Structure 1
Amino acid sequence: MSGTIITEERNIANALISGLANLPDVPTRDQVEEKAKQIAAIFGYAGDLRNIITEAMISVDTRMGAGVSLVDVTAKHDDQWVRKREDITWTYANAYENFLLKEGWAPRMVQSLSDVTSRILGHLQDPHSEGTTWNRRGLVIGHVQSGKTANYTGLIARAADAGYKFVIVIAGIHNNLRRQTQERIDEAFIGRSSDPEDRRSIGVGLDPGYPHPATLTNTHEDFNKNTAAKSGWKINDFSKPIILVIKKNVTTLTALHKWLKALNAEGDGRISDVPMLLIDDEADNASINTNKEDLDPTRTNAMIRRILGLFAKSCYVGYTATPFANIFINPDGYDDDVREELFPRDFIYCLDAPTTYFGAEKVFLNEETSQRIAKPIDDCEDFIPYAHKRDNPVPELPPSLYRALDEFIVARAIRNLRGHANKHCSLMINVSRFVPVQKAVRDFISLREKKIREAVQANYMMPESVSLANTYMQGLKQAFDAEYAAAGFTWAEVQPALNDVFDHLHIYVINSKSDEVLDYTKYEKEGIGLTAIAVGGLSLSRGLTIGGLTVSYMYRNTKMYDTLMQMGRWFGYRPGFEDLCRVHLSRDSINWYSHIADAAEELTQQVKRMRRDGLSPKDFGLYVRSHPDSLLITATNKMRSGQEVTVEQSFSGRLRESYIVSTDPDVNIRNFGLIAEHWKGGFGGRSEELTEKGIIFKDVPVEVIEDFLTRFECHSTFAGQKSDVVTYLERIAEKRPVADVLLISPAGGSGDEKPFALRNQVRVVGKDQPNGASWRLNKDRVASRGDEKLGLSDTQRKEAETLAGGEDGTGAVSDTHYRMVRNKPLLMIHSLEPRGEAVKGPIAAFGVSFPYGDYSTTINVVVNKVWLQQMQGYDDNPDDEEDYDA
């Protein structure tokens, strides 16, 4: 495609996007097409408008914060049916939106939730549509703790208004999570407490004349025959919708299937005139590799599919924050009566995180904020090691945990000074999956809290010279100086405020064996802000919302994607105290979280890209399945028997870097010699151009890069990955014969005394380096964020900004956007200067970023137990938890 055509397309797209930005509503595709044709006519452009239209759609979507969807392009589905049906009265939806406004939601947030849920509803089937049987399957990808429950509650309300009669919500695998969801649904949809002892109207039900839906479950009881019988409802009594909130386990699902079949199915075994909606919250769970019978994903999935199969008209919508859900990865066959895959063949919808969301970007990816928030734990191994047994003695707690407690007390005092006294404030401690260890931790924390409380009571009104003679007061002052000196108050103001911190401070152990309930609502009713210290394991990790979580301390080691993301209870909304939040994690976990956050962001970009290219969810499914990280999910599942597994992998849109480098001086001398040799020859005779941070050779033949990589010496543990990169370059070479080469050499770096030598980039050496002349870089990253924009033209950079979009056009531009506009492979070459005793430099490293679009090009990678062990670290499988909810 010639430059002029590209520029012309760019101009038309820009004109179209700015024209659409002024429209009061999100435009339909038809409206966008119409407008695009008008603009093309003005420009005298006769080319293909499809990309321009799709891009404009994405841009409008994203700018308005409406997220982006990928739909089955071959299906005959009209997603505008909601607008076309004039008979819908939005009783439930309006009541829900008013309820949210009363709960203090910003009107713009409520409006945007309303827009998004309308659009997701459009992806479902019109319940009044012709045809005796239909089913739709979709997936909504949100962010951890970013209001997925609020989203599906809004969807349920709209679906009920449109004519869906039977709704099932599958809420995770724990009792406390199911109960929490039931309470939310009671308040926001049913409008009546489902607690059998207390059937009063609440939430939306306080409006006069509210048509209460019926429920077959309550806050105390999951679904079973007796609860259903007690509710006195028959499924064909459909003056109002019926809703159930159930746990995801085989027993409950089987009981529901049996009841539906026996009580209500007609002769052919199907329920014909009842449109049903099934919401599967945490669709990635039960954990992929569980070995508990009742949570086996194959069996739970099969039962969900059987239940769907009983209804002639059904919609399944999975909700997840980890798009590596097992519905993508588990292509294993099921028996006939399971009828159809849960695979989201009809649509995938990525929700935007609201601008006020405190998420992975702030905690792990943004260099500036992550240094303040994420604190590495380096001292826990000697007290409560990663790998411990349930009867391991706990001699004492690590100093870093006591520091986190001091931080928490100071943060609570500052929040009180900010007027948050009636808001909750919590500290989460998650260091063990074993109940006895959790209790031991609670006892130590309890003792420490008592001593601090006594010290504060004796000293809070004393002059500093007296108060700071006390060790516990010193600890609080140190926490203030180190973390909160810039929070807007002096120590002289904070010290007297410390006393009130203990008014409503309670310590809880949260697991299925404990009868302690972390009940924030009880305190809310009395207008009290609870100050909670919650010690626990899995129950804390999955789904349970912890009110006002301010400080987190987690020392767990697992590399299971879904588990880790779910453990991220610290994500969410932190209005007025985001600057006080601290997350204490091992260095391993910080690195791994950063990696996952990158991967999740990249998958969302992939949805946008695929939408632009007119692809369908099944293409996304293939992409996820061949994504290097999906190995961690599939491999564990398939490798219990210990055999090798060959997996297909695609590097489309990925950055692969040599994050494990050799520290052998001879190897590095040879590598720098290789760099100088290629540099001298202009990487195949190309001329060099300057960038802000080194030089670039453009359009280098791929064979030259293959030759360079083949001769570049890696550490043995990375050699396999290097050869995968070379193989992949060969595979795409026909379509992509040239690449750019970036020699990163920042101004002011040491080390360019010789000709053809790079200036160094300083990198800190983390603790616990692997043995054997190797260095594993922090966060498994070599390049700095933003390096991929080097060598791009101003026009390309602007295009990347447009792609990043965001609600107001200010979405963060990341390397994935620069990768999209470069649209050819990029080899980055680095010289690293290690800061740390253990490693001497300089050390050569490289990274190759691959363009998007080669989804179907894959290479075979062989995985064995050793690889898995290397990647996963200790076995910390939450499904073996002692505190599992029975």
Structure 2
Amino acid sequence: MSDEFDGMYDTFKALLDTFPPSEAVKRLEMLGVGIEVIQRIRERHEQQTIRIKELEEPHAVVLGNRDTWYTGPQDKDKCWPAIVDLLRKDGWSEEPAIRSLDESSTRVVSLLNHPKENSFSTRGLVVGYVQSGKTTNFTSVMAKAADRGYKLFIVLAGIHNGLRRQTQARLAQQLVEPNPSLWSQLTIVEKDFTPQANPASYFGKSNKTHVLCVVKKNATVLRKLARWLEEASDYLQDCPALIIDDEADQATVATKSINPLILDIMSNLPRSAYVGYTASPFANLLIDPSAKDLYPRDFVVNLPKPRGHFGTEVLFGRYALDGEDPEQVDDGYDMIRSVPLDDVARVRPESRADIEGFEPDITDTLRRSIEYFWLVTAARRVRRRGNPHSTMLIHTSVNTAVHNSFKRPLEHLLRRTAESLDDMGLRSRLRDLWDEETARVPAEELGEKKVAFDELEPELPGVLRNCRIIMDNSSSEDRLDYENGPVVAIAVGGNTLSRGLTLEGLSVSYFVRAVSAYDTLLQMGRWFGFRNGYADLPRIWMTDELAEWFRHLATVETEMRRDIDTYMTEAETPLTFAVRLRTHPALRVTAAAKMRDAVTAASSYGGKRVQTHYFRTDAEWLRGNIKAARDLVAAATQNAVRIEERQSEGRYLFRDVPYDAVTDFLSAYKFHDKSPENDADLITGYIRKRVKMADSLRRWNVAIVGNPAGEPFSLTNKVSVGLSTRARLAVTTTDPHFADIKTLMSRRDAAVDLDGDTARLTEQQIMDLRHALLPDTGLLVLYPIDKTSTPSPTKKLRAPLNAEEHVVGVGLVFPEPRQEDSTVEKYISADLSGVRIEDEDYSMLVEGEDA
């Protein structure tokens, strides 16, 4: 009977293509369809009008890949059009800014439940970028949800009063003020939540307004809210609620007070959707999905990167991921300046015992960063466009006493500089600094016009007159206030400036704060965001180790987002896959308490490339690797089935070398300690396991890739190639013998043992061709590298390698496995082992929790 009914319904839908609904019903009656069946068809059609599935979904993971009910704004809407009007007045362009916001917020709303469903408890996560407009996005989501019938809106706005007040003010301006008759507010800018008398006045059927409540994640406040909602339970059955958790990784995850209270609030709301917003979702993605918690079991969605946004990758560059052409991965802008380790102890106490009585020195790097900030502010006044504020951030410690110790030396430097502007030595130094910095980042490359020193110099007295030194921390009364005219400020602070709050017009940062986790590090980056009118001018002073950590973090972010996108295309859900997070030898992914339910995720070597990009430059280490390479080439010469000499290309190829020659090489060759993915023991174990279990990887092709124009380098008496050039990234570290070349192996090299013209093939096409032609053969490539390796003049972020001996780099390409693959562990993820899914209806069954 079900198939027969479905056929009748399909006939009705076909009739609707030609006739209005009333006529389509008459046609069914003419076909002899009974009244009862026609009534069922009409009911299904009415249901389908609120569950339309024709919408281009976001790059998201959706429970059961469910259809959506929300297809975008309608003419009758009031809240979303009001936001659009405000954005236009603020100078937002229709294309692409407003259109992109419209699309991304529609995508999030499309993942929520229809507000008229009897009950629901949705849990999702939206992953944005630091300082990228997440507040504007969730405000838009709230507006669209309000336009469709959601009534109660609770925004959890971080843990500090400043962010709560800022969020309340923005939501009041963009949601309440344009439509005051549509909204009631439980909180105001000046005051967090206080229980209101008579809940019926807010939630009773006679009140049609939407209710806005903006609270900070504070146990006392949330407890009052939870208790008040419990008392109002008689009125909440018909109250669809949307809970927005801003900075959802902070305080929400694995906290004994805040986390249960959020769950208590949700338990009092029969129809609720919880949506976390964060740019550092690591902790949220590691929640135990089988527990009664806030794991994003229904959806995870990436917000698109906004045009013109300065993010981790833009500033610091990143490393190539599997499947990428390394030549297409950028090094980032030349905006990072090095703070020597000797300077750190002069601007930050080395231990708690040193805090009392500590006073920082104005080191050369700190003075240079401050003077550059004043020059930037003057140049922006010449340009007279963009953000009217200009801020510098100094962040060296979390301790408020350390922050306060900066006030006297900074004010002294400000006063002395203002009094010495006529000094020819100072003016000459400022001119040299400005000319050097503007040469390193040409304004024209970022769509700006260079400001000459002679143009900005007249503005300097006014800049110094207006400049304020502000200690912004939890114990200070003097705070950044952008509401009362243009601000020029050097802000010294810690946690109050490290999350959520926007430092308007941030131009220069001096950052040497010690951190230990990805999310903390990422949120400290207040320099991320938009730099309209001064895209060429931002600079960051930090240690080289911190810069490397940010480069690694950019790689983690990109890989994480790619995981989300890839799994969506494979029709997975947050309950059937866990996003992998690449680990780092010196950093935690997040706080230990937030990782207690995580498991080590496996990343197979199968179908992957492994390459060295970290090297030591001291002679003994390098000589050992040269010997290992020469021993491998000698073994390959004796045991290869065929040897191909390509002197015109600077290459040799040894085909079908026994695997033990490769494992012997791996036991002798030393990978750098900072390369956990290049673990010789893991790689050797992987090879031996595939040989034993799958009779694969018994034979290897060994190639030597050099430069025919380079200085000859002998690997044996009969095998010699020209040395290649691989300059290092221009950073210094605590280890004088450390070098990072960023990328070693090109896409073309991964096809060195494939016949025919492979130059135009993509990375994936090469791997597919390898799988077809060499399904069980591994490839090992040796790269003899010139010890000097001077970079070309166009590579501004590179420096000579300057090794004590020539360097031998190694690349490995593994074929795809034919069966269950052994793996190497280098990621962590959420543990999905306790999750049970009913395949028939995609219901979510969690251990200890009903569907």
Please give the TM-score of this superposition, normalised by the length of structure 1. Answer: 0.72
What is the 5 A alignment of 1:15-94? 68-72=59-63, 74=64, 77-79=66-68, 81-83=69-71, 89-94=76-81
User: Which residue among 356, 365, 384 is the counterpart of 1:391?
Assistant: 356
User: Which residue among 842, 849, 857 is the counterpart of 2:806?
Assistant: 842
Amino acid at match of 1:501: V
Name the CA shift for 1:216/1:411 in 2 (closer, same or farther; >3 Å).
same
2:526 & 2:649 partners in 1: Cα distance?
A: 39
1:83 & 1:341 partners in 2: Cα distance?
A: 30
Name the CA shift for 1:250/1:312 in 2 (closer, same or farther; >3 Å).
same
User: Which residue among 117, 123, 128 is the counterpart of 1:137?
Assistant: 123
Kindly tell me the number of residue pairs found equivalent between the two proteins.
721
Is the 8 Å Cα contact of residues 215 and 231 (structure 1) preserved in structure 2?
no
Residue 112 of structure 1 pairs with residue 100 of structure 2: yes
1:213 & 1:746 partners in 2: Cα distance?
A: 70
| Range moving further from structure 2, 149-158 or 712-721 | 712-721
Amino acid at match of 1:777: A
Deviation, structure 1 residue 608: 2.2
Name the CA shift for 1:424/1:715 in 2 (closer, same or farther; >3 Å).
closer
Is the 8 Å Cα contact of residues 473 and 495 (structure 2) preserved in structure 1?
yes
Is the 8 Å Cα contact of residues 62 and 300 (structure 2) preserved in structure 1?
yes
Deviation, structure 1 residue 656: 5.5
Name the CA shift for 1:421/1:343 in 2 (closer, same or farther; >3 Å).
closer
In structure 2, the residue matched to 1:542 is 499
Amino acid at match of 1:218: I
Give secondary structure in 2 for the equivalent of 1:243.
Answer: strand
User: Which residue among 219, 223, 227 is the counterpart of 2:193?
Assistant: 223
Instruction: Note the residue ranges of structure 1 that are not aligned, 5 or more in a row.
Output: 1-59, 192-203, 289-295, 335-339, 460-466, 524-528, 801-814, 864-886
In structure 2, the residue matched to 1:712 is 669
User: Which residue among 559, 579, 583 is the counterpart of 2:540?
Assistant: 583
2:370 & 2:288 partners in 1: Cα distance?
A: 46
Amino acid at match of 1:579: D
Measured against aligned partners, the alpha-carbon deviations of 1:348-382 in whole angstroms (never above 9, x if no partner) come to 11112122111222201178774521111114224
In structure 2, the residue matched to 1:808 is none
Give secondary structure in 2 for the equivalent of 1:497.
Answer: helix
Deviation, structure 1 residue 636: 3.3
Residue 188 of structure 1 pairs with residue 174 of structure 2: yes
Give secondary structure in 2 for the equivalent of 1:318.
Answer: strand
Residue 481 of structure 1 pairs with residue 426 of structure 2: no
Measured against aligned partners, the alpha-carbon deviations of 1:621-642 in whole angstroms (never above 9, x if no partner) come to 2x426867898236833899xx
Q: How well do the aligned residues superpose, as a CA RMSD in angstroms?
A: 4.3
Give secondary structure in 2 for the equivalent of 1:256.
Answer: helix
Name the CA shift for 1:504/1:434 in 2 (closer, same or farther; >3 Å).
same
Amino acid at match of 2:477: D
Amino acid at match of 1:181: T
Is the 8 Å Cα contact of residues 360 and 409 (structure 2) preserved in structure 1?
no
Name the CA shift for 1:861/1:571 in 2 (closer, same or farther; >3 Å).
closer
Is the 8 Å Cα contact of residues 386 and 533 (structure 2) preserved in structure 1?
no
In structure 2, the residue matched to 1:214 is 184
Instruction: Note the residue ranges of structure 2 that are not aligned, 5 or more in a row.
Output: 1-54, 319-328, 444-449, 789-799, 829-851
Deviation, structure 1 residue 661: 4.6
Give secondary structure in 1 for the equivalent of 2:580.
Answer: helix
Q: Which structure's CA Rg is the greater one?
A: 2
2:131 & 2:768 partners in 1: Cα distance?
A: 29
In structure 2, the residue matched to 1:329 is 286
Is the 8 Å Cα contact of residues 796 and 822 (structure 1) preserved in structure 2?
no
In structure 2, the residue matched to 1:102 is 89
User: Which residue among 232, 240, 245 is the counterpart of 1:264?
Assistant: 232
In structure 2, the residue matched to 1:499 is 461
In structure 1, the residue matched to 2:390 is 425
Residue 149 of structure 1 pairs with residue 135 of structure 2: yes
Name the CA shift for 1:630/1:405 in 2 (closer, same or farther; >3 Å).
closer
1:174 & 1:395 partners in 2: Cα distance?
A: 27
Give secondary structure in 2 for the equivalent of 1:381.
Answer: helix
Deviation, structure 1 residue 496: 2.1
Deviation, structure 1 residue 828: 5.4
| Range moving further from structure 2, 365-374 or 578-587 | 365-374
Residue 121 of structure 1 pairs with residue 91 of structure 2: no
1:346 & 1:862 partners in 2: Cα distance?
A: 23
Is the 8 Å Cα contact of residues 614 and 738 (structure 2) preserved in structure 1?
yes
User: Which residue among 290, 294, 319 is the counterpart of 1:342?
Assistant: 294
In structure 1, the residue matched to 2:512 is 555
2:534 & 2:262 partners in 1: Cα distance?
A: 41
2:492 & 2:380 partners in 1: Cα distance?
A: 22
What is the 5 A alignment of 1:590-601? 590-601=547-558
Is the 8 Å Cα contact of residues 686 and 700 (structure 1) preserved in structure 2?
no
Is the 8 Å Cα contact of residues 252 and 258 (structure 2) preserved in structure 1?
no
Measured against aligned partners, the alpha-carbon deviations of 1:523-574 in whole angstroms (never above 9, x if no partner) come to 1xxxxx3212111111111111011111111011223100111011111111
Measured against aligned partners, the alpha-carbon deviations of 1:575-610 in whole angstroms (never above 9, x if no partner) come to 121101111111011000000001101111222222
Residue 284 of structure 1 pairs with residue 275 of structure 2: no
Measured against aligned partners, the alpha-carbon deviations of 1:785-815 in whole angstroms (never above 9, x if no partner) come to 8788876999999886xxxxxxxxxxxxxx9
Is the 8 Å Cα contact of residues 604 and 823 (structure 2) preserved in structure 1?
yes
Give secondary structure in 2 for the equivalent of 1:307.
Answer: helix
2:685 & 2:756 partners in 1: Cα distance?
A: 32
Give secondary structure in 2 for the equivalent of 1:429.
Answer: strand
User: Which residue among 305, 310, 322 is the counterpart of 1:358?
Assistant: 310
Name the CA shift for 1:421/1:312 in 2 (closer, same or farther; >3 Å).
closer
Deviation, structure 1 residue 452: 1.5
Name the CA shift for 1:849/1:789 in 2 (closer, same or farther; >3 Å).
closer
Residue 778 of structure 1 pairs with residue 732 of structure 2: no
Give secondary structure in 2 for the equivalent of 1:137.
Answer: strand
2:701 & 2:710 partners in 1: Cα distance?
A: 23
Give secondary structure in 2 for the equivalent of 1:433.
Answer: coil
Amino acid at match of 2:434: F
Is the 8 Å Cα contact of residues 438 and 536 (structure 1) preserved in structure 2?
yes
Deviation, structure 1 residue 134: 1.6
Residue 167 of structure 1 pairs with residue 153 of structure 2: yes
Give secondary structure in 2 for the equivalent of 1:383.
Answer: helix
2:647 & 2:181 partners in 1: Cα distance?
A: 69
Deviation, structure 1 residue 302: 2.7
In structure 2, the residue matched to 1:51 is none
Name the CA shift for 1:67/1:745 in 2 (closer, same or farther; >3 Å).
farther
Measured against aligned partners, the alpha-carbon deviations of 1:362-403 in whole angstroms (never above 9, x if no partner) come to 201178774521111114224124734332522522210110
Identity %: 27
1:89 & 1:650 partners in 2: Cα distance?
A: 50
In structure 1, the residue matched to 2:21 is none
Is the 8 Å Cα contact of residues 169 and 281 (structure 1) preserved in structure 2?
yes
Is the 8 Å Cα contact of residues 254 and 303 (structure 1) preserved in structure 2?
yes
Name the CA shift for 1:837/1:826 in 2 (closer, same or farther; >3 Å).
closer
Measured against aligned partners, the alpha-carbon deviations of 1:230-259 in whole angstroms (never above 9, x if no partner) come to 999544364111121222233332222122
In structure 2, the residue matched to 1:300 is 258
User: Which residue among 273, 280, 288 is the counterpart of 1:315?
Assistant: 273
In structure 2, the residue matched to 1:406 is 371
What is the 5 A alignment of 1:222-241? 222-225=192-195, 228-229=196-197, 233-236=201-204, 238-241=207-210
In structure 2, the residue matched to 1:32 is none
2:220 & 2:336 partners in 1: Cα distance?
A: 40
In structure 1, the residue matched to 2:526 is 569
Measured against aligned partners, the alpha-carbon deviations of 1:448-503 in whole angstroms (never above 9, x if no partner) come to 111212223xx3xxxxxxx52xx332332222121125552333223223233235
| Range moving further from structure 2, 368-377 or 271-280 | 368-377
Amino acid at match of 1:365: G
1:418 & 1:746 partners in 2: Cα distance?
A: 48
2:532 & 2:403 partners in 1: Cα distance?
A: 30
